[in-house]
Amino acid sequence: MAATGPLDGQTSLAMDIVWQRLLMDGGMTNPPSQSISVALNTVYGQTGLANTAVLAGANAGSTPTLTVTGSDANVGLNITLKGSGSVAIGTGLNQVVLGWGGSSNVYASGFTTAPGNWTSGNALVLQYGGTGTDPRIVVSGYDTNPNLVLQGQGAGALIWKNASGTQEWKVDSLGNMSWAGSLAGGATAHAGTGDIAATEFIAAVTSTAAAYTLTLPTGTEGQLIIVQDQSGGAATHNITIAPPAGGTINGAASALINTAYGVQRLYCGSANGLSWYLW
């Protein structure tokens, strides 16, 4: 075929023009019915550039390729979009979309419409964070409350490391959790009768001038709460721990701390958040 070098010398030839030229020069009837390579080395009128992107068709059973070649040892490939255009790789549930709507987000999804117009399914979104803003991994889609599932393979674990590569958290394949540091947030002080918030981990009773009652929240299954007599006066004025309305603690109506500096450790053992147990 005649077209062996840069095509014409025009700038940024569209692929439909490329195919027309190949049809005229090579008599091809069904591109790409045979393997052909088009060297895209004509940019803004410059020819003979050192680095080139090569589009190669493929015969049946093979895969077309886009290859970067040239005299430099390490050559990247830039894809520049226009306006709010995006790059979609793959189709259906295997599709990854880069820069939807002109954003810097990456959507790992199976969707062909903008996120706000989804009518089914959910996607994982990698959100860019500008200066002063943290990047995010976000679940988005059609359902109101989709979960984010991180799934290992075999006996693999979920491991969280800090910036220096030191392991901080680990959840193994059996659900056992270990961590290198301490639980952040500290204790929440309670100086009288009141409610323990659902966000608390340690409820510290700092005053036992009288007998007080602390009421547990409606919990999340597996949630842990520790109640501690920090004042040291629970032997004189007991601390009563009450379940949430309609709930129980070890099947009973309450639990008690009646020793100086005593402690009760509790976990929520039901999906409705009402059944708490001592451990």
Same domain, 213 and 241: yes
Residue 140 has a pLDDT of: 77
Of 269, 220, 258, 255, the C-alpha closest to 236 is 258
Same domain, 193 and 253: yes
Contact 226, 266 (CB under 8 A): yes
Same domain, 245 and 194: yes
What's the number of domains the chain is made of? Answer: 4
Residue 211 has a pLDDT of: 96
Provide the pLDDT confidence category of residue 108 given band limits of 50, 70 and 90.
Answer: low
Residue 131 lies in a domain: yes
CATH of the domain at 234: 2.60.120.640
Same domain, 216 and 177: no
174-195 average pLDDT score:
78
Same domain, 49 and 112: no
Q: State how far the Cα of 228 lies from the Cα of 239, in Å rounded to an integer.
A: 9
Domain membership of residue 101 as a residue range: 87-141
Asked if the model's pLDDT at residue 200 lies above 80, the reply is: yes
Residue 160 lies in a domain: yes
Contact 121, 107 (CB under 8 A): no
Contact 148, 137 (CB under 8 A): yes
Same domain, 56 and 124: no
CA atoms within 13 A on the CB side of 41: 18
Same domain, 209 and 252: yes
Residue 100 has a pLDDT of: 60
Residue 7 lies in a domain: no
Q: Is the bond preceding residue 31 a cis peptide, omega within 30 degrees? A: no
Same domain, 20 and 58: yes
CA atoms within 13 A on the CB side of 214: 31
Same domain, 216 and 257: yes
Paired tokens of 144: 């109101």
Residue 4 lies in a domain: no
Query: In degrees rounded to 5, what are phi and psi of residue 278?
Result: -90, 145
Residue 2 lies in a domain: no
Contact 106, 126 (CB under 8 A): yes
pTM beyond 0.85: the answer is: no
DSSP at 204: E
Same domain, 94 and 63: no
Residue 258 lies in a domain: yes
**Looking at the DSSP assignment, which residues form a beta bridge with residue 187?**
202
**pLDDT tens-digit readout, 201-232:** 899 999 999 999 999 999 988 899 999 999 99
Residue 64 lies in a domain: yes
Same domain, 192 and 261: yes
Q: DSSP characters for 99-143?
A: SGGG-S-EEEES-SS-GGG--S-EEEEEE---TTS--EEEEEESS
Residue 223 lies in a domain: yes
Higher pLDDT, 18 or 255: 255
Of 145, 140, 106, 144, the C-alpha closest to 122 is 140
Q: State how far the Cα of 206 lies from the Cα of 201, in Å rounded to an integer.
A: 16
Same domain, 59 and 125: no
**pLDDT tens-digit readout, 124-182:** 777 778 888 888 888 877 788 888 888 888 988 889 888 888 888 888 888 877 776 65
Provide the pLDDT confidence category of residue 1 given band limits of 50, 70 and 90.
Answer: very low
